[in-house]
Structure 1
Amino acid sequence: MDPVRNPYAPGAGQRPPELAGREREVRQFEIVLERVARGRPERSMILTGLRGVGKTVLLNTFRSMAIQRLWGSGKIEARPDQSIRRPVAAAMHMALRELAPRHRAPERIDRVLGVLKAFAQAKTDDPKSAKGAKAGSRWQPGIDAVAVRGRADSGDLEIDLVELFVDAASIATDLGVGIALFIDEMQDVPAEDVSALCTACHELSQIGGPLIVVGAGLPHLPAVLSASKSYSERLFRYARIDRLSRSAADHALTAPAGLEEVEFEQGALDALYEASDGYPFFVQAYGKVTWDLSLHSPITADDVRVAAPEAEEELAVGFFGSRYERATPAERDYMRAMATLGDEPVPTNEVARSLDRRPSSLSPARDNLIKKGLIYSAERGLIAFTVPHFGKFLRRQPE
């Protein structure tokens, strides 16, 4: 069939042609937007799940929903070696620029932009706040306003975020809308910055400020937040994003194909679900290759069987292989030992026993794999892969 008309999109964070199986989360966020805009108390929102389940896609969908309701919005992607001060400043600048043209008091906008500039330029001794530059150096943001000294510029992120968020939220209040800050890879926010974010969200929830944080991260993100502030479990609304149900996975394939007047036989859908296991990225990956290699409609189970090896090879190189290559030999040994124990979370002491090593001697490899986002601590004493089917991929690799 014509590859130009292929509707499937297995890209990183790329929205699929049909956002199937996420209706509940979209409806939840619609309620959050409406309640915040009406001054009702509402919690910020956290999406968690393995890689490839569509967290970033959903985060981008939420942002589009906020923009459609004329909210101010900004998005950042957290990095473990960087403070969030500068990225948050850039994101909040974008949000305020979206609100400014509708505000009737330019002087109010200028003052909050001045507070934002002071926040961005605040001196700090934290080396993470100036990656690639001398710690404590000043950043010159592209904000056309005079910095307001004495507000959000103490250098203490916890104090400064509260003051910045409160002032920015007041602009949204004037317009009867809200501001949403979207944070992808939120588990990589440095621990001190997580604490500051929680404090700022807590303050906003107490005063009813129309500013929310929407984060997305790996399954252990709730534990990261809880370790930072004990009240975080009451501060956020958590939504766990998992694989698609059978009906949703089928719909993700058949709905866009139907627009191109292409059909699937039931056997093809059975084979595609077995191959993808319902994970959205895999659904798109197998669907794309199957389309390209099929001769005509309807797509059959034989078409899927022909396409599966090529799809698996593409995943082995791009989705799995790129991550595997980031690991050192010692880290690869650790992951292979995990893979031999199965696909569910495994005890760290069992991994050590498999390698005939003391658990303490493996701590550096385990900690580095966690920092690289290849594994996570499912709960105390248990670890798991952040990528679905990664164990299966490792078991196919030569020693």
Structure 2
Amino acid sequence: MNPNPFKPTAGKRPPMLIGRESVIEDFEEGLDNGAGAPGRLMLITGNRGCGKTVLLRELQRLANERGWAVVSDSASLGLCDRLADALRSNKPVVTSMELGPSFGRMSVEAARAKGETLRGLVNERLKRLGPGKGILFAIDEAQSASIEELAALAVLYQQVLGDQDATGLSDSDQRGLALVFAGLPSMVDDLLEEPSVTFLRRAQQRTLGAISLPKVRDSYIQTVKDAGLYVDAETADLAARKSMGHPYMVQLVGYYMWRSAVRRGSQVIERRDVEDGHADAVSEFYEAVDAPLYYGLRSPQRLYIEAMAVDEGKPTRMADIIERCDRTQSWASKYRASLIRERVIEAAGYGLVRFTVPMLGAYVRDRVLWHE
């Protein structure tokens, strides 16, 4: 039996990291080009399911291959303490357990003290690494961390650069620190608004969006072939269109169309496998992406997008939202702004808005409004 090559599990590395080549190249160049190279400081953002965690783990793998120490964490309150503990443990790779969101804050003074502790630990660890090597801090779900702790890490990065300059070594021989944050788009907004971390405005910002459909089609053809089955270009093109180029849907459609063919006992993925697989993929996408997003919104925000969901596949007029919700113009403007900031919706022309998250409107119609 040919194992299914598609990996829709959250954070699992897919066979091909299509559409992310430029981010990977920038990061590799950053590690290879010596102290202060731009690719060593990155902010990776995107909506849920766009592949941030997968990409972050690929960057960790590349750093590890180059002899860098890698410390990874899923952010929440206490981030700096856990990073310090990881450095004290002297292990080459440390991955914390996935912690739930934390909305606590700490004092600026406490964050600075933790940053100073980290600075000493980082410099001690760097002394034990070879010339040109360093430590990668890979921070996932960064929007859940205390802004003060993220600011402390940004300051730490700058301080370590200065400490290494003071050694008198060439840029290529200096030990370094790389810092990659991955999180929802609101994370970048919060970080760049923080007065104490203006340095982060020089970080490479990479927003992960949809993958071009021709790349998806070609990856389907190659991945299926490498794993021992066959799909023709026309069928692969249909699968690509069904995926909408969304990284998670690419894996879901691939997984379920493969499963459909195998269950038929066929070595060829056909159009019917894509159609059947797409139905399963949509159901899983609803549960994994759309449902958590919808139920994670505040009640007024949910009311707002329920009003939008009525307009199937087309932008919604602000005037219609006001009428459907029986609310004021100021109410609609307030929650429009909040949903745009959280990248749930976007402006679609004068007085118009539309969803940015795939199938969110369909989910609300199918699973929320239909049941009311």
Same fold at TM > 0.5 = yes
1:335-394 CA-to-partner distances (Å, cap 9, x unmatched) read 3134346879989898556422236657998899899x784899xx99986743322322
Residues 169 and 210 of structure 1 are in contact (CA less than 8 Å); yes or no, is this contact kept in structure 2? Answer: no
Residues 256 and 280 of structure 2 are in contact (CA less than 8 Å); yes or no, is this contact kept in structure 1? Answer: yes
Q: Secondary structure at the match of 1:388?
A: coil
Residues 73 and 91 of structure 1 are in contact (CA less than 8 Å); yes or no, is this contact kept in structure 2? Answer: no
Q: Indicate yes or no: 2:201 matched with 1:204.
A: no
For the residues of structure 1 that align with 2:276 and 2:314, how far apart are their CA atoms? 29
Q: Secondary structure at the match of 1:220?
A: helix
Tell me how far 1:292 sits from its aligned partner: 1.3
| Percent pairwise identity | 26
Q: Which residue type is aligned with residue 278 of structure 1?
A: G
Query: Which of 199, 212, 219 pairs up with 1:245?
Result: 212
69 and 312 in structure 1: CA distance in 2 versus 1, 3 angstrom threshold: same
In the other structure, the counterpart of 1:89 is: 84
166 and 382 in structure 1: CA distance in 2 versus 1, 3 angstrom threshold: farther
Tell me how far 1:34 sits from its aligned partner: 1.6
For the residues of structure 2 that align with 1:347 and 1:69, how far apart are their CA atoms? 52
Q: Which residue type is aligned with residue 242 of structure 2?
A: A
Residues 214 and 237 of structure 2 are in contact (CA less than 8 Å); yes or no, is this contact kept in structure 1? Answer: no
Q: Indicate yes or no: 2:190 matched with 1:224.
A: yes
Task: Note the 1:276-291 alignment, pairs <5 A.
Answer: 276-291=243-258
In the other structure, the counterpart of 2:169 is: none
In the other structure, the counterpart of 1:178 is: 134
Query: RMSD over aligned Cα, in angstroms?
Result: 3.8
Higher RCO, Cα 8 Å, sep 6+: 1
Q: Indicate yes or no: 2:53 matched with 1:56.
A: yes
For the residues of structure 2 that align with 1:382 and 1:179, how far apart are their CA atoms? 46
Residues 345 and 357 of structure 2 are in contact (CA less than 8 Å); yes or no, is this contact kept in structure 1? Answer: no
Given the two structures, how large is their TM-score scaled by the length of structure 1? Answer: 0.72
For the residues of structure 2 that align with 1:166 and 1:235, how far apart are their CA atoms? 24
Q: Secondary structure at the match of 2:43?
A: strand
Given the two structures, how large is their TM-score scaled by the length of structure 2? Answer: 0.76
Residues 71 and 180 of structure 1 are in contact (CA less than 8 Å); yes or no, is this contact kept in structure 2? Answer: yes
Q: Secondary structure at the match of 2:138?
A: strand
Query: Which of 190, 204, 207 pairs up with 2:146?
Result: 190
Tell me how far 1:293 sits from its aligned partner: 1.3
In the other structure, the counterpart of 2:4 is: 6
Q: Which residue type is aligned with residue 193 of structure 1?
A: E
For the residues of structure 1 that align with 2:315 and 2:176, how far apart are their CA atoms? 39
Query: Which of 17, 29, 35 pairs up with 1:39?
Result: 35
97 and 6 in structure 1: CA distance in 2 versus 1, 3 angstrom threshold: closer
For the residues of structure 2 that align with 1:56 and 1:383, how far apart are their CA atoms? 29
For the residues of structure 2 that align with 1:388 and 1:317, how far apart are their CA atoms? 13
Tell me how far 1:299 sits from its aligned partner: 1.6
For the residues of structure 2 that align with 1:207 and 1:342, how far apart are their CA atoms? 57
Query: Which of 69, 73, 84 pairs up with 2:66?
Result: 69
377 and 76 in structure 1: CA distance in 2 versus 1, 3 angstrom threshold: farther
367 and 97 in structure 1: CA distance in 2 versus 1, 3 angstrom threshold: farther
Query: Which ranges in structure 1 are unaligned for 5 or more consecutive residues?
Result: 100-126, 131-135, 137-153
Aligned residues: 341
Task: Note the 1:78-157 alignment, pairs <5 A.
Answer: 78-79=75-76, 82-93=77-88, 96-98=90-92, 128=104, 156-157=110-111
Q: Secondary structure at the match of 1:314?
A: helix
Q: Which residue type is aligned with residue 7 of structure 2?
A: A
In the other structure, the counterpart of 1:297 is: 267
1:294-335 CA-to-partner distances (Å, cap 9, x unmatched) read 232332223212332232223233433344455576553233
